[in-house]
Structure 1
Amino acid sequence: MSLIKRDFPMLTNLTDFFDDDWLQARFAKDWTPAINVVENDENYEIEVAAPGMRKQDFQVSIENGVLTVTGKTEKEEEEKTKNYTRREFSTRSFTKAFTLPDNVDEEAMKAKYDDGILRLTIAKTEKVLPPKKEVHID
């Protein structure tokens, strides 16, 4: 008797087709909007493309040098007629985090939502370098 490895490509293709990434892409409620990050001499600008959302659907926070942008929107629709009832709902949400450089003024951040674009402006400060420290070698 000998042991022979058998490869069943059809079975492999099916398991690849139904892997976690495929299921998550089809049925997940999370999505990632398009994001642009621009740096100029005075500030950093972050643009988040989130059409169909309202400004109250966003939460923006800075903690320990990390900027976090979260958005969540829910939509519910119901239609009743003589013979049937149709009810639809959808939920979209995202969370995106950015590690901020040392040369930003976290207190001077501005946010504005207009025409489907959330614009965040973070002012730059003078980069303060820590003093040089000599380390003694034993």
Structure 2
Amino acid sequence: MSVIKRNQQYPSIRSLVNDFLSADRFFEKNPFFNESWQVPAVNIKESDTAFELEVAAPGLEKKDFKIELDNNLLRISAERNEEKNETKADYTRREFSYSSFVRSFELPMYVNAEGIDAQYKEGILKLVLPKKEESTAKKRKEIPIA
């Protein structure tokens, strides 16, 4: 069994509108939706003992992320607000920026929720989801016949 991307199964209205309006048929670069609406790419690796999720989220800080586990639903979200003020002799410029994303994954029942570990380094959020010991592959053992 593998980790299931929930937002891939049932795309949200926002993602459908985003996909439609971000297409090159209207503008080379769509002025209505910028890159802050994009959902980051996620790499999922499975080994005998754990799953590893790598979320590509450059430009964020640890404090911007929120990771929640509700039953077997893992939810990774981030939100960033930015405000820039610039004052010169003749003018004042003020810019606001807001970006956020949410990714949800339905975890298999054999993930050890207590052992989940998360680290953010160089633009990559890495989560290690260990498997419960009883679900890991056991070494083959020959049983002698008495």
Deviation, structure 1 residue 100: 0.2
Amino acid of the structure 1 residue aligned with 2:128: T
Q: What is the CA-CA distance between 1:31 and the residue it aligns to?
A: 2.2
1:127 aligns with one of 118, 122, 135? 135
Superposed, 1:99-118 pairs within 5 Å as 99-118=106-125
Quick one: percent identity of the two aligned structures?
39
1:101: how far off?
A: 0.7
Q: CA RMSD in A?
A: 2.3
Match 2:105 to one of 98, 122, 130: 98
Q: Does residue 70 of structure 2 align to residue 71 of structure 1?
A: no
Q: Any stretches of 5+ residues in structure 1 without a counterpart? A: 1-18, 129-138
- CA shift for structure 1 position 27: 2.8
What is the number of equivalent residue pairs in this alignment?
Answer: 110
* Equivalence for 1:22: 21
* 1:28-83 per-position Cα deviation (integer Å, ceiling 9, x unaligned): 75320111111011100000111110001000011020000001111111100110
Distance 2:101 2:38 in 1: 6
Q: Could you say which structure has the greater relative contact order, defined with CA pairs below 8 angstroms and 6 or more residues apart?
A: 2
Please tell me whether Structure 1 or Structure 2 has the larger radius of gyration of its CA atoms: 1
Report the TM-score, using the length of structure 2 for normalisation: 0.69
Find runs of 4+ consecutive structure 1 residues off by over 2 angstroms: 25-31
Structure 1 partner of 2:53: 46
Structure 2 runs not aligned, ≥5 long = 1-15, 23-29, 137-146
Q: Distance in 2 between matches of 1:107 and 1:56?
A: 21
